[in-house]
Structure 1
């Protein structure tokens, strides 16, 4: 029995990607500026990790009804409530987004009282902490540093593996993807928490992987067809890798869709942002990082 490889696009496509490069540049610049302006005006919906709040760890004698528990605690109107399991089904983490220490003990007692009155559980409060805004600011700084270090590491890798001209294309695509993803986060008002930083780093890694595959083919074709124009070679290379690119993004989006549908509120920001970022990263790999290298001279490429 002969198995045929899965293909969304045939391997002999001949799309003229370079024909629309100026339109794509204009669209990307517009979305880039719009994202920065939106972020500047409307900021982010910072979660408990950054804004501060109450953090409680509970152990319950039976598997609790988290949906009902979340509904009861949200009715208290003391701030954003995040519930999730950790370790086991009987270990619960409760975080309440309270940025001020005023009425702190009162709000903690409200949570304990609501749980006692509505659930016939034996509850052991193993840890009760308050995450202050100062800690949140430190986390923001750490998150920014993590993204900057990831950018630097990627640029060193590209500089070693490719010529410096390719590095400019990668840098442009990564900044484009990161800013548009943050703009999407600001527009949708998804929680900006620690998982958001992980999502941005995931998007950056995915975008680089996609771009490196296309760049490998461009460099190979530059050496093979040294009499063709750089625009023709880029079109040829993107078309040759298009089937691989579409299959990768399709399967990755399917896996991510499962996280969106079944992952629950605890990872909602992460899964939705990664879904959007994969689309943006695929777009930038084809329409930003590849065409931008036409600005450079590759006649002396060895």
Structure 2
């Protein structure tokens, strides 16, 4: 039983041109930001030292930055971590200085005015490991897109395969653009979230394409745009329920999960919205633009041996 039932078709394709212009603007802005601002790479990719300290009272970040600059840590990135009493300090790699010694130097600088500061944790990631992770992460994303294109081409048709990959690239570029524009930290958890967005968006697109193929065989006299609108309307209740329940879980993770998974939850929350949008106005609209029609989705008839012989022989 459907909880949401749309009795009349929604004319999605009527807005495909404005939607494509909107998507084009978002992609251009994202690419420009990635080219100029790049990403705020986390220590997983850049290497360096991460130090978490705790104060008895709310920490004054500007004062902490001045203390670290006085101690010759001019490249330190200081930010709150979860609460106003917890502070996260990121330092670029320093050759010949061990993480433990670096932590003692930072603590000495922070305690210079007699304030009580506790060391919570200290982590070190080598720059060579960071370069390797960045390269492998990019290769993993590229490999996923190629495998997805091959899968959809085999299951459906090359126009739908190309449309789905363009939609996935659209989702990835805009999600990365969001992190670049807002300068949110991009670490391995965010990379995992981006890959999860690819999977979610693909699943949504496959459901829509499956219904499009089914309706092309059922509604033989309708125009392609009408068939696509019908298919999107029929899958809309499923999309709303699936996206809605997923968003509720992600909001709970974002609010209660702590600062460690804020980036993960942010990427997935944004990815759910952009993935649902791209299934309608990128994947389906591009398939229509490429000229998908009933004949392209008809199953291939296999002629049986002896079918053309006279049955009386």
TM-score interval (norm. to shorter): 0.7 to 0.9
How far apart are 1:157 and its partner, in Å?
1.9
1:104 aligns with 2:89: no
Post-superposition Cα deviations, 1:32-74, rounded to whole Å, max 9, x if no partner, equal 11110111111111111112112689xxxxxxx9686995999
Counterpart of 1:292 (choices 275, 286, 295) is 286
Counterpart of 1:260 (choices 250, 254, 262) is 254
1:242 to 1:44, Cα distance in 2 relative to 1, 3 A: same
How far apart are 1:83 and its partner, in Å?
10
Counterpart of 2:129 (choices 131, 135, 138) is 135
How far apart are 1:201 and its partner, in Å?
0.2
1:297 to 1:187, Cα distance in 2 relative to 1, 3 A: closer
What SS does the aligned partner of 1:97 have? Answer: strand
**Contact 2:55–2:116 (CA under 8 A) maintained in structure 1:** no
What SS does the aligned partner of 2:19 have? Answer: helix
Which ranges of structure 1 fall in alignment gaps of 5 or more residues?
Answer: 58-64, 85-93
C-alpha separation in 2, matches of 1:136 and 1:280: 29
What SS does the aligned partner of 2:49 have? Answer: strand
1:243 to 1:129, Cα distance in 2 relative to 1, 3 A: closer
1:234 aligns with 2:228: yes
C-alpha separation in 2, matches of 1:241 and 1:270: 28
How far apart are 1:247 and its partner, in Å?
1.1
**Contact 2:55–2:118 (CA under 8 A) maintained in structure 1:** no
Aligned partner of 1:60 in structure 2 is none
C-alpha separation in 2, matches of 1:68 and 1:173: 49
Indicate the larger mover: 232-241 or 37-46: 37-46
Aligned partner of 2:302 in structure 1 is none
How far apart are 1:15 and its partner, in Å?
1.3
1:29 aligns with 2:20: no
1:13 to 1:257, Cα distance in 2 relative to 1, 3 A: farther
The CA RMSD measured in Å over matched residues stands at: 3.2
**Contact 2:9–2:233 (CA under 8 A) maintained in structure 1:** yes
C-alpha separation in 2, matches of 1:33 and 1:49: 28
C-alpha separation in 2, matches of 1:69 and 1:147: 43
**Contact 1:70–1:81 (CA under 8 A) maintained in structure 2:** no
Aligned partner of 1:211 in structure 2 is 205
TM-score normalised according to structure 1 size: 0.81
Q: State the structure with more CA Rg.
A: 2
How far apart are 1:251 and its partner, in Å?
0.9
**Contact 2:171–2:275 (CA under 8 A) maintained in structure 1:** yes
**Contact 1:51–1:97 (CA under 8 A) maintained in structure 2:** no
TM-score normalised according to structure 2 size: 0.78
1:110 to 1:21, Cα distance in 2 relative to 1, 3 A: same
**Contact 2:49–2:93 (CA under 8 A) maintained in structure 1:** no
1:40 to 1:23, Cα distance in 2 relative to 1, 3 A: same
Count how many residue pairs are aligned between Structure 1 and Structure 2.
Answer: 278
1:139 to 1:278, Cα distance in 2 relative to 1, 3 A: same
Aligned partner of 1:171 in structure 2 is 165
What SS does the aligned partner of 1:290 have? Answer: helix
